[in-house]
Structure 1
């Protein structure tokens, strides 16, 4: 008994473009909301000569710094997402749901960034909210890459095996770095709530892991490219 299968649709360009354009719009809105909250302090009509201008401008300076940090993170997530989308040729409902999960954390950035400004030595919750936001973005990006490269490779273009492998590894290590670092920091605060020395040392976990995984990725990339040169290009 033969089963007649419906012909697989060709490249659904319009629908896929809508998905990507919607993501770009969310990125743009998130960046706009980041900067819209930054305002100059109210200056008095007559400024005393001995007035400490730094004390007056400090809140705005911190807001600009938080904006710059979040802008760098959002920009990096956009670049990684663009690299993923370059390899897509189709989509399904699973991909849409995972994109919505990713975009949830992107639109959360204005909130977590504004919360970050209220962090103090006695109130670390905003800092942990920001770390959760970063971890969520990296987890969602890795989830998307796992879904399209491992579970549904037919959603991607044929070939480009080396590029897919390296991008998947980069997103996996990025997520593992942030998740492990965040866990180390959270556990340190939980186990040593009054030990500020241990708490400050725990901050090194994320950059140390990032540096370690950076070199691991370089080694993997070199080995992968060496293997490609030996066996011949297949992408």
Structure 2
């Protein structure tokens, strides 16, 4: 009967680094693929001076879409980095949750290119893009819950305040996107011809994000104030 031996601490640390390096590589490849499809159009031999914008407008829209997705991916990388600095160990469950998160990072180039085909009569690409964002936020929240709440031994000891604030940030980020996406989808389902309601529904996600931003600010301030108060009493 064979017994699988637990890897030594050095090997565990090396394997955890491999998990982080693999994640960084996925982020880098996803960002690179965003820009590959954007190319300047071939200029015709003669063009009036006032016709350049009409000619370059599609490329400008593609580049703007690239910038938006670049900001989103960069933000997810920063959040992932903030989470991983608390890790000291891993298990199979953490690996699976990381792969789930990286799946949505990899699909960003696809959803970004699909977003360019959105129109008032064809909103499916827009919903695909929102699903991509919601998937990333859901995966980050899932990882943070698994590490900080369900398996705290995977994280370094101490830093309880920082861990809790980071967990709350991931939770509120996911709830913001999930609520906003659901309301937008329901608006299109219930009022398919009412463009006014549809445009108003777009504002729900940034409004909820702003509300939760200040909510977390207040929570962080109150938590730090409580920590300082307890430290002074001790």
TM range (shorter): over 0.9
Larger displacement relative to structure 2 (186-195 or 219-228): 219-228
Q: CA–CA distance in 2 between the matches of 1:232 and 1:10?
A: 34
- Residue 28 of structure 1 aligns with which residue? 28
Tell me what 2:42 maps to.
Answer: 42
For the residue of structure 1 that corresponds to 2:9, the secondary structure is coil
- The aligned runs of 1:87-166 (5 Å cut-off) are 87-166=86-165
Deviation of the 1:54 alpha carbon: 1.0
Residue by residue over 1:51-103, the C-alpha shift from the partner in whole angstroms, topping out at 9 and shown as x without a partner, is 51111101100110000000000000000000011000000000000000000
Partner of 2:18: 18
Shift in Å, 1:10? 3.2
| Corresponding residue pairs, total | 227
Higher helix residue share: 2
Q: Which residue of 2 aligns with 1:211?
A: 210
TM-score (norm 1): 0.94
Rounded to whole Å, the distance in 2 between the matches of 1:115 and 1:189 is 19
Give the superposed CA RMSD. 1.5
Q: CA deviation at 1:194?
A: 0.2
Distance in 2, Cα, partners of 1:232 & 1:36 = 53
In 2: Cα distance, 1:7 partner to 1:116 partner:
47
Q: Which runs of 5+ in 1 are unaligned?
A: 1-5
Aligned to 1:52, the other structure's residue is in SS state: helix
For 2:109 and 2:166, locate their aligned partners in 1 and report how far apart those are by CA, in whole Å.
27
- Deviations along 1:114-150, one digit per CA (max 9) or x if unpaired, are 0000000000000000000000000000000000000
SS at match of 2:205: helix
- State TM-score, norm by structure 2: 0.94
Question: How far did 1:9 drift?
Answer: 5.0
How far apart in 2 are the matches of 1:125 and 1:8?
47
- Deviation, structure 1 residue 226: 1.1
Give deviations 1:161-202, integer Å, cap 9, x for gaps.
111011001010000011100011000000000000000000
The corresponding residue for 1:82 is 81
CA distance in 1, matches of 2:49, 2:105: 43
User: Which residue does the alignment assign to 1:3?
Assistant: none
Structure 2 counterparts to residues 56-75 of structure 1, below 5 A? 56-75=55-74
Q: Distance in 2 between matches of 1:89 and 1:232?
A: 27
Alignment gaps of 5+ in structure 2: none
Q: Paired residue for 1:193? A: 192
In structure 2, C-alpha distance between the alignment counterparts of 1:141 and 1:43, rounded to whole Å: 44
